[in-house]
Copies of this chain bind each other. A is one copy, B any other.
């Protein structure tokens, strides 16, 4: 059972395939390690390889199925970061992640982006390690860079909805007022607004007020998937 909104760029397929992988391997009596589960889950949906792990997770940049997997780099309680998801539309994405990945290579800017991504990843790791929230804010520029690749693909892709822009501008407005908040966007149009526990309620309140925001979902760094012994259906 997956209670996550599907096809909106909030990684519903990731959570779904992670749950399926764990349930199916247990059901047939396999006792896989976290790495083995991650490798297997990735076959269903790339991002699922992250969802079998708990805490703050890094997806290793491998070239093969055996080397492209995720692992927890910090436990769930390591750093209290909040994610207020602004849902601006509950409809499906215009472009699937899979076709997006294929198209990205046609962007004039793709190579330049690739050449710089390792440095950026190291900066994010470092920001988490020293728990520097403003440094972590570089994920915002990263999201804009990623979407620029979509915008400059051939043909171009606009993954955003009007509300996406409304939320992004609102986050900048909040920051000008001293509220700690940075946005990031996956492949869809809904916006993740990262904040600290101290600012979570004001961020949620401000986002809920926006005319194009349908609802907000507050989340924090989660534990790894847990096994239920009761029937869901």
- Which A residues lie at the B interface, using CB under 8 A? 94, 108-109, 112-113, 116, 140-141, 144-145, 147-148, 151-152, 154-156, 158, 160-166, 168-169, 172, 212
Whether A151 pairs with B152 at a CB distance below 8 angstroms is: no
A152→B156 contact, CB < 8 A: no
A172 neighbours in B (Cβ, 8 Å): 158
What are 25 contact pairs spanning A and B, CB under 8 A? A94-B169, A108-B109, A108-B112, A108-B116, A109-B113, A109-B148, A112-B112, A141-B152, A141-B155, A144-B151, A144-B152, A144-B158, A145-B151, A145-B152, A148-B151, A151-B151, A158-B168, A158-B169, A160-B165, A161-B165, A161-B169, A162-B162, A162-B166, A164-B165, A165-B165
CA distance A156 to B148 in the complex (A): 11
A176 to B161, CA, bound (A): 18
B141 & A154 in contact (Cβ 8 Å cutoff): yes
- Chain B residue numbers with a CB within 8 Å of A116 are 108
Name the CB-closest residue of B to A141. B156
* B141 engages A147 (CB within 8 Å): no
- Distance to closest chain B CB from A103 (angstroms): 13
Q: When chains A and B are docked, how far (Å) is the Cα of A161 from the Cα of B161? A: 11
Cβ B156 vs Cβ A140 within 8 A: yes
Most buried by B among A144, A148, A160, A164: A148
A161 nearest in chain B by CB position: B165
Quote the shortest CB–CB distance from A119 to chain B (angstroms).
11
Please measure, in the bound complex, the distance between the C-alpha atom of A151 and the C-alpha atom of B140, giving whole angstroms.
10
Shortest CB distance A141–B (Å): 6
Least CB distance from A104 to B in Å reads 13
